[in-house]
Structure 1
Amino acid sequence: MQTRTLRATAPKPDYAHSPQHQAGRFRNKVPTPPTGLGKSLRLMWTFLFNKPRNTVPDVPLEVRPLTRADLLAAPDRSLFRLGHSTVLLKLKGSFWITDPVFAERASPVQWFGPKRFHAPPIALEDLPPLKGVLLSHNHYDHLDRATVRALAATTEHFIAPLGVGDTLVDWGVPAHKVQQLDWWQSAQVDGVRFTAAPSQHFSGRGLRDANATLWASWAIVDDDLRVFFSGDSGYFDGFKEIGERLGPFDLTLMETGAYDPQWPHVHMQPEQSLQAHLDVRGRWMLPIHNGTFDLALHPWFEPFERISALAAERGVPLATPVIGERLDLGQPHPGDAWWREAAVAG
């Protein structure tokens, strides 16, 4: 494993040195089949005109409001889920946030596209200054331009996969704050180590930039505490290698949502999410990538129900905090089945 200390570096427009880069594009370890124009058009038609009714809650979801004072007073090694894959971590007295999206819609425009089920538990401008932002890839539900631009002045570090950092710099983040990593490379900030690890996914924000930037999962290590952040991924044997090289993990933030049999190579079914958790040698599992945006064809509450049943069957400790609820990273708690009341009411 390669370890680097963060430092001011110029953006790297050429990533031919990366084993993941070929013919000008990044790729998965095992190539995934293309979707094809016909299938893409059929999926678009289904999303626009034939979606099941219960992919969106009919009633407001429970959210526990947070204030800056709440966060500053929280003990070290606290976690707050803010929605979708946005998680706030307090490590060594400083705040880190994963894939921050505070926009109303996960979309290139704010008048159309998947709309939030709930507001974030704290407004973007009320966040305390952040030590850093950790990014998994550049899709709109994980990388929000307005959020990044708002955080650029008050955040000390931005850690991202190869190419994603170039986008940040283009948006106005000072280059000396940005570190871009390939799989298995690490960055260390104030005693916390971040290691980029493989995932099986893809990237792109427009019609011409498919796979022009890398995607990654992350291992976060704070002394004896290890947290795994999956980003987005289909199930693949890379999870076992991650467990062997970087595990075990006290907690996994594991993608569990926006799945469908029609796109098995880029998002996991709940059974696969649980297996990925076991593969990386996780102890507690916190399912993310759910409960905020309408990005699939399954009922909005289904990921919680399926993963809860599977975890109980396999004896895996599962944490399902309410959006905004504090989770102790040292001693997680299961949380309540908060989604059921809204699901029944709808």
Structure 2
Amino acid sequence: MSHNAPLPDDLPRYRRQGKQYRNAAPMPKAGLGKTLKIFWDFFFNKPRHTQPARGFEVEKLSQAQLLAAPDHSLWRLGHSTVLLKLHGLFWLTDPVFSERASPVQWLGPKRFHQVPIGINELPPIEAVILSHDHYDHLDKAAVLALEAKTKHFLTPTGVGDLLVAWGLPAGKIRQLDWWQQTQVGDVSLVATPSQHFSGRGLGDGNSRLWCSWVIDSGRQRLFFSGDSGYFDGFKAIGEQYGPFDLTLMETGAYDANWPGVHMQPRESLQAHLDLQGHWLLPIHNGTFDLAMHAWYDPFEQIQALGLAKGVPVSTPAMSERLELASPHRGSAWWRELAEVEPAWEASSG
């Protein structure tokens, strides 16, 4: 991936206001009344089926399995945590291994399933790739535990400063602005725009940048969305760095009340098309209850939309290996747990 020429001036770029970052396009504000109602409904007025009736087991992974697995493999570990094996080295996106995606472990969204492999069992990690600082993407306990076995931490601007404040060595951290590129061994990575926000407490809102990532191994080109509302940045990224063999696309935790920061499934599919993606793998689902929709709705919707548009969608079960060179559609593993009628039927290929 060689893009040494200056990038066009009309690409989406964040704005700064004092110490706060802003999206390329102004975001609509919900207002206090609507915001309070959203929080009230989320905590006290949840519909049925936002989480499975019971926790579910996932197949355990071992370090020996990972080391013996073919190169250019992928495993979903839960939510937006994906383990990649590229050129014999291992890479982790947004590692969340704690029981809850929360600032405290006695309250907050709790896992539907256990992590398929503990941090102690993981092989050495070449790089941890972080998209932003929210608790369901940046797990302090996991980052601190990963530090001893991780060579690099790749972050959007400002998130690396937080890691240093937590005690990580600054020499391990690379912070990138939107459109900046870095090389780690044989893999090229670009921090690309997303439409979202940041903050872990009451006083640090939007003080750190958020991003998506282009991950190019030379054999496959992947897109990792992080979190984003739908915006014209996807088309710009596709024009600069597409086509993509596989997009790891946020499809979950969506709601009509927060359209600017998370995509509806139809928008996830359109973003994939804008990126010039081939296979779509929906992430940001299946692990935590973070919205008002049924926990299985993202899978059902994106599969039906993909079939209607001729887009191959892969839904591997948690811990199931996916070969990047020849992905498979996966099974509707959630159906038995959800006890729902099929909204789509997979075809072969």
Specify if TM > 0.5. Answer: yes
Give 1:53's aligned residue: 48
Task: Give the CA deviation at 1:168.
Answer: 0.7
Q: Which amino acid aligns with 2:223?
A: F
CA distance in structure 2 between the partners assigned to 1:345 and 1:241 by the alignment: 38
Of 296, 300, 315, which residue of structure 1 is paired with 2:310? 315
Assess if the C-alpha contact under 8 Å between 2:196 and 2:260 holds in 1: yes
Spell out structure 1 runs of 4+ moving beyond 3 A. Answer: none
Assess if the C-alpha contact under 8 Å between 1:58 and 1:345 holds in 2: no
> Is 1:122 aligned to residue 117 of structure 2?
yes
CA distance in structure 1 between the partners assigned to 2:57 and 2:332 by the alignment: 11
Q: Which amino acid aligns with 1:34?
A: K
Q: How does 1:72-111 map to 2 (within 5 A)?
A: 72-111=67-106
CA distance in structure 2 between the partners assigned to 1:87 and 1:20 by the alignment: 30
Q: Which amino acid aligns with 2:97?
A: F
Q: How does 1:222-237 map to 2 (within 5 A)?
A: 222-237=217-232
Give 2:10's aligned residue: none
Of 205, 209, 221, which residue of structure 2 is paired with 1:210? 205
CA distance in structure 1 between the partners assigned to 2:14 and 2:139 by the alignment: 28
Task: Give the CA deviation at 1:2.
Answer: 6.1
> Is 1:247 aligned to residue 246 of structure 2?
no
Of 167, 177, 180, which residue of structure 1 is paired with 2:172? 177
Assess if the C-alpha contact under 8 Å between 2:14 and 2:24 holds in 1: no
Against the structure 1 CA distance between its residues 22 and 316, is the aligned structure 2 distance closer, same or farther, given a 3 Å change threshold?
same
Q: How does 1:130-209 map to 2 (within 5 A)?
A: 130-209=125-204
CA distance in structure 1 between the partners assigned to 2:14 and 2:79 by the alignment: 30
Give 2:34's aligned residue: 39
Give 1:112's aligned residue: 107
Higher RCO, 1 vs 2 (CA within 8 Å, ≥6 residues apart): 1
Give 2:17's aligned residue: 22
Q: Point out where structure 2 has 5 or more consecutive residues left out of the alignment.
A: 6-12, 342-349
Assess if the C-alpha contact under 8 Å between 1:229 and 1:252 holds in 2: yes
Task: Give the CA deviation at 1:59.
Answer: 2.6
TM-score w.r.t. length of structure 1: 0.94
Q: How many residues align?
A: 332
Q: Secondary structure at the match of 2:160?
A: helix
CA distance in structure 1 between the partners assigned to 2:60 and 2:251 by the alignment: 24
Say which is worse superposed, 285-294 or 57-66, in terms of deviation: 57-66
Structure 1 residues 311-336: Cα deviation after superposition (integer angstroms, max 9, x where no partner): 00001011100000000001101100
> Is 1:285 aligned to residue 272 of structure 2?
no
Assess if the C-alpha contact under 8 Å between 1:257 and 1:288 holds in 2: yes
Assess if the C-alpha contact under 8 Å between 1:2 and 1:184 holds in 2: no
Q: Secondary structure at the match of 2:90?
A: strand
Task: Give the CA deviation at 1:19.
Answer: 5.3
TM-score w.r.t. length of structure 2: 0.93
Assess if the C-alpha contact under 8 Å between 2:14 and 2:22 holds in 1: no
Against the structure 1 CA distance between its residues 254 and 74, is the aligned structure 2 distance closer, same or farther, given a 3 Å change threshold?
same
Q: Which amino acid aligns with 1:342?
A: L
Query: What is the CA RMSD across the aligned residues, in angstroms?
Result: 1.4
Assess if the C-alpha contact under 8 Å between 1:161 and 1:180 holds in 2: yes
Assess if the C-alpha contact under 8 Å between 1:2 and 1:185 holds in 2: no
CA distance in structure 2 between the partners assigned to 1:93 and 1:283 by the alignment: 24
Q: Secondary structure at the match of 2:286?
A: coil
Say which is worse superposed, 50-59 or 242-251, in terms of deviation: 50-59
CA distance in structure 1 between the partners assigned to 2:239 and 2:57 by the alignment: 38
CA distance in structure 1 between the partners assigned to 2:307 and 2:86 by the alignment: 29
Q: Point out where structure 1 has 5 or more consecutive residues left out of the alignment.
A: 4-17
CA distance in structure 2 between the partners assigned to 1:238 and 1:271 by the alignment: 16
Give 1:9's aligned residue: none
Q: Which amino acid aligns with 2:337?
A: A
Task: Give the CA deviation at 1:237.
Answer: 0.8
> Is 1:344 aligned to residue 304 of structure 2?
no
Give 1:305's aligned residue: 300
Of 233, 240, 253, which residue of structure 2 is paired with 1:258? 253
Against the structure 1 CA distance between its residues 176 and 2, is the aligned structure 2 distance closer, same or farther, given a 3 Å change threshold?
farther
Q: Which amino acid aligns with 2:256?
A: P
